[in-house]
Structure 1
Amino acid sequence: MMTVRQRVTKIQQPGPAVQRLLERAEIEGVELVRFLYADHGGVIRGKATSRARLAERLGSGIGHTVAMLAMNMLDQLQQVEHLGPVGEVRLVPDPETFVPLPYSPGAAAMVADLRLPDGSPWAACPRTFLKEAVAELEQAGYTLVAAFEPEFTLGRRLPSPEGGPDRLVPLDDSLCYAGTGFDTAHDYTVRLVHALEAQGLRVEHCHPELGAGQQEVSIRHAPALRAADNHVLYRETVRGVALRMAMWASLAPKPIPDQAGNGAHLHLSLWQGSVNVFADEQVRGWFIGGLLAHLPALTALTCGSVNSFRRLAPRMWSSAYICHGPDNREAAVRVCSPLGEGGEINLELKPSDSSANPYLSLGAVIHAGLDGIRRRLDPGEAATVDPDTVPGRYPRLPASLPEALDALEADEVLMAALGPLRAQAYLAVKRSEAVAFAGQNAAYECGQHLRAF
C-alpha cells in the first residue's frame, strides 16, 4: 500500500504541462502565485506561494485550516463539527487554471481544490461538489455548458457621514445603455477587457446598465467547471482593476439600496456530443421542471446572501416567481431565443447573483435539472406575461435568506447531493449571516456586502 509520503512524492513529479507552467511563470516575471477558492460565505479567499516554491506546492498544496469553511462573510467563525481548530486540508491548485494577473504585476493565480493531506477529496470542498455533479451528469450521457452574466457597480468607496460602514458612491448617474455611461467608464472598461482577455476570458459584450455606476461585462460560455472557475477569476479581476485605478467595484446584489441590483444570471445549455438537447422541447421541459421543483431550495445556493433578497422582488426584472417562459425576463427560468442562424437554445436562470459560491450554485443546478430529466417533471404552462400581473397564479420565490435555507434543508435531493459535512457547514454559515444582519439597518448590510463582494 502506498504511504501518504509516497503519494505526495508521486504527485510532485513535474510533467510536461507543469514544466511549461513553471517556465511561463519565470518568463513572465511572476513572483507570487495565489491559490484561490470560494468559501461557504461566497467570499473568494486564498493563499499565495513564491515562485521559488511553486514546483513543490503544485504537488503538496498549501496547508489550510479546516475551520475556514465554517467562516461567514463577516469573518465570524461558526461552530461546526469537524471544522474547528483541529484539522488540516491542502489548497491544491489546478494547473489548467494558471493565469498571470494583469492588474497585479508580478502575481498569478490558480483555482484550487481543498483536499485532505493524503491528496484525497475533502467532503466540504465546493469545487469538488461541482466536479461530482459534472461526473454524475456525464454518467447520464450529458454535458453542461454554462456562463454567468454578471453586473457590478463601479464607483468609489467612502466613509459613511454617520460613522457606519463605508458606502459606495457611483461613478456616474448615466441612464440605462446610454452613451454617457460608456464614456464615463471607458478607461476602466477597456482595462478590464484587456485584463479578462489576457486570462483567456473572452468578452462577449458590455454596456452600462440601469443603476447608477452599474456595468455589465459578459464573458463567453464554457464547460461547467471552467465556467465556475472563470467566474472566480472574473470577480477578482473586476475588483482588482478598479483598485489599481483608485476605484471600487462591487458585485454585491444590492450595494446601494435605492439602485438597481446586480445579478449574475446563469445561462445553461445541455449537450450530448455535438447536439444541444435543449432543442428537444420535451427534454428541455424536464430539465426546467427539475429547476422549478427545486427552485425554493436552489435559491439558497444561487442567491446566497441576505442582500440577495433585496433584489429578488416583483417587477425588478430579477424574477420573484417560480415559473418559466420564452424570453420572459420576469420568469425565474427564461427560454432564450437563439441568436442568428445556427444559434443554440439556452436557458437563463434569473435568481442568481455573485454573492453565491459558483461551484455550489452550478452544482446544485445540475442536480436539480438532472432530477427533472430522470423523473420527467412537467414544468407546467409557460408564462407569457409578467407573473406579478396575475396574482395567485404562480408561487413566490423565498422572500428572505432564512426562508430559502428552510427550503434547502427540506429538499432531500439537494441535501443528499451536498453531503452531511458540506450541508451542515453551509447552513450554519448562512444562518449565522441571517442572524447577524437581522437587527441591522440597510446601510450596515449594504456596507458589509460591498466589502465582501
Structure 2
Amino acid sequence: MSVQQVLDLIKEKNIEFVDFRFIDLAGRAHHITLPATEVDAETFVNGVAFDGSSITGFRGIEESDMVMMPDTGTVYVDPFTAHSTLIVVSNIHTPDGERYERDPRSIAHKAEEFLQKSGVGTTAYFAPESEFFIFDDVRYESTMNSSSFFVDSEEAAWNTNRKEEGGNLGFKIGVKGGYVPVAPVDSQQDIRSEMVRLMQEAGLRIERHHHEVATAGQAEINFRFDTLTTTADNLMKYKYIVHNVARQYGKVATFMPKPLFGDNGSGMHVHSSIFNDGVPLFYEKGGYANLSEMALHYIGGILHHAPALIAITNPSTNSFKRLVPGYEAPVNLVYSKGNRSAAVRIPVAAVTPKGCRIEFRTPDSTANPYLAFAAMLMAGLDGIKRKIDPSALGYGPFDTNIYELSDDQKKEIRSVPGTLDEALDALEADYEFLTEGGVFTKEFIDNYVNVKRAEAKSVAIRIHPHEYGLYFDC
C-alpha cells in the first residue's frame, strides 16, 4: 500500500486517529497516537519521534531520541477503540536516518535479505501455532514478605465442587482432557470465533480454531503462513486481538508458557520452509518423510544450534517450566515424521509439495517473533551451508515415543537446556551463525544476553512459596 492509499483510506473510513507502533526487545508492542488531522505525506517521510531510553534494552538517556518510520504495508483498522483508529507498524531509525540495529523488525528484514543473497532460495515461509489460556481470574504478587499467584477458570478440573457459580453446571475439563471436545465441555467456542472474526477483518487468513489439551481454557487459533517479517507482524496482530477480545468478554488471555502446574503448557510450534521463485525446496518424493537433502540439512542446523537458538525462541524463566518431559513438551533434540515428542517434527498428513515443511516444536510465545524466526532461519541456513547431516550427528530420525525409551537409550539423546541461564551460556558460546551477513550483531547479542540474565537473576533471588513447604521446619 502506498502512502497516498493510506491517506485515502483514512478519509474513506473516517479515521480519527492513527496509532504508530513499534516492537521492543521482548516482543511487546508500544504505540504513540496522532490525530488523523496531523497525519500527512510528510509523516511517512519524517516519521514519529519517541524516547528510546524508556524502552528496556534500547538506548541510554544520553542518546534517547529515536524515530518510528511507518511501514504502509502493515496498516489495519483497530477493532477495539471507541474512536476510529488506524494501526501502522513502524521500523525504528536513529535520528540520522539509519535503521536501528536493535530493532527486531530490522533484524527480521536483514535475515530475509541474507537468504536472497545466499543463493539458497528467495523466500522463507513461517507459520506459528501460538497456544494460549483464557482465564476468568488472575491474581499475583511478589513482595518482601509474600509471594503468590492464583488463576481460575469456569472450565477448570479443580472447580467440579465450586459453589460460587450459583449451582455448579458441571462439564469441567479434566487434566490433559481438553483436546477438541464439543460444547458444553468446551465453553469457549464463541469467544474464539469472535477472535477469528476480528482477525479476518484485520487481514489474517484463519485456518482453524479449537480447544487445546490442558484444563482451564487452553486454546489455539491457526493462521496462514507468510514470509518471515509479515508472519511476525501477523503474530503481533493475533496476540493483540486475542488479549483484547478476552478483555471484552470479562476474561483474560495469556501466552505464558506454563501458567499451571501439572498440565500441558502453551507452546508456539513454528513451521518453516524455503522456496525459490515459487518452487518449494524442501520436498523430494521418496526421501525420508518426502524431505529433500536441503531440508534435512536445514533440520541439522536447527538441531545443532538448538541450545543457543532456544535462548531466543524460549527466552523466559517460565519457558523452562514447560520444557520438561511428560507434558507433550519437545525436550529431545531429534527429528521425526509425525512424532510430537521430537523437537523437530515433519508433518506428513495431507501434505503437498508446496506444503512440505519442518515444524520446530520447542519455541513458545514469550519469544519476540521477529528475532525467533530470524534466528531459526539463520540456524537452518548454516545447516544448509555446512551440509549438516542430522542423522550422522545422532539427531534421528526417531519414530517411536521417546518418553517411553529406557533410561540408557535416553542418555544418547541430547536435551534442551534446563534453565534460561544455561540457554544464554549456549548462546554466548555459539552465536557466529547469527552474525553471518550482519543479520544479528555481536553488540546486539551481548545486550540481549545482559537483559535476559537480569530477568533470570530477578527470579532466582526471590523466595518461592514451595520452599516454605520444603524447608520451613528445618
Q: What TM bracket, shorter-length normalisation?
A: 0.7 to 0.9
| SS state at 1:179 partner | coil
Q: Deviations over 1:27-46 (max 9, x none)?
A: 32333332223322232323
In structure 2, C-alpha distance between the alignment counterparts of 1:63 and 1:353, rounded to whole Å: 32
- Of the three residues 22, 28, 32, the one matched with 1:37 is 22
Which of residues 390, 396, 407 is equivalent to 1:379?
Answer: 390
User: Structure 1 residue 61: deviation in Å?
Assistant: 2.1
Code of the residue aligned with 1:403 in structure 2: it is E
Larger deviation, residues 223-232 vs 87-96 = 87-96
Larger helix proportion of the pair = 1
1:70 match: secondary structure: coil
Q: 1:343 to 1:130 in 2, by over 3 A?
A: closer
Judge conservation of contact 1:32–1:49 (CA < 8 Å) in 2.
Answer: yes
Q: For 1:244 and 1:196, how far apart are their aligned partners in 2? A: 15
SS at 2:370 equivalent: helix
Cα distance in 1, alignment partners of residues 293 and 349 from structure 2:
17
TM-score after normalising by structure 1: 0.87
Paired residue for 2:287?
none
Does the C-alpha gap of structure 1 residues 213 and 375 become closer, same or farther in structure 2, counting only changes over 3 Å?
A: same
From the superposition, tell whether residues 110 and 157 of structure 1 become closer, same or farther in structure 2 (CA, over 3 Å). Answer: farther
Matched, 1:345 2:364: no
| 1:22 to partner: Cα distance | 1.7
Q: Does 1:204 align with 2:207?
A: yes
In structure 1, the partner of 2:118 is 140
Q: How many residues align?
A: 420
SS of residue in 2 equivalent to 1:113: strand
Give 1:270 shift.
1.1
Return the alpha-carbon distance in structure 2 between the equivalents of residues 182 and 19 of structure 1. Answer: 50
Q: Which residue of 1 aligns with 2:135?
A: 155
Cα deviation digits, residues 258-297 of structure 1 (max 9, x gap): 3321111111011112221111421111101111111000
Residue 426 (1) aligns with residue 448 (2): yes
Call closer, same or farther: CA 1:83–1:318 in 2, change over 3 Å.
farther
Equivalent position SS for 2:275? strand
Q: In the superposition, relative to structure 1, how do residues 34 and 52 fare at CA in structure 2: closer, same or farther (>3 Å)?
A: same
Contact 2:18 2:86 in 1 (8 A): yes
Aligned twin of 2:181: 178
CA contact (8 A) 1:408 1:414 kept: no
- In structure 1, the gaps of 5 or more residues are 1-15, 72-79, 445-453
Partner of 1:219: 223
TM superposition shift of 1:164: 5.1
1:239 aligns with 2:243: yes
- Greater shift after overlay, 134-143 or 256-265? 256-265
State the partner residue of 2:95. Answer: 117
AA partner of residue 398 (structure 2): A
Q: Distance in 2 between matches of 1:135 and 1:112?
A: 18
Distance 1:397 1:121, change over 3 A: same
Shift of 1:176: 2.0
2:310 aligns with 299
Residue 432 (structure 2) pairs with residue 413 (structure 1): yes
- Per mean C-alpha deviation after superposition, the further-off stretch among 126-135 and 164-173 is 164-173
> Which stretches in structure 2 are left out of the alignment for 5+ residues?
157-172, 285-291, 467-474
Distance (Å, rounded) in 1 between the aligned partners of 2:155 and 2:272: 33
**1:210-267 per-position Cα deviation (integer Å, ceiling 9, x unaligned):** 1120010010001111111101111111101111222111011112333321111111
Higher relative contact order (Cα pairs below 8 Å, separated by 6+ residues): 1
Q: Tell me the secondary structure at the aligned position of residue 2 of structure 2.
A: helix
Distance 1:296 1:385 in 2: 23
Deviates most, 261-270 or 26-35: 26-35
Inter-partner Cα distance in structure 2 for 1:158 and 1:300 = 28
Cα deviation per residue 1:306-365 (whole Å; 9 max; x = unaligned)? 111111112322211111111111111111115256662111111111110001100111
CA pair 396-155 structure 1, distance change in 2 beyond 3 A:
same
Asked whether the equivalents of residues 280 and 354 of structure 2 are also in contact (C-alpha less than 8 Å), the reply is no
Structure 2 counterpart SS, 1:352: coil
- TM-superposed CA distance for 1:50, in Å, is 2.2
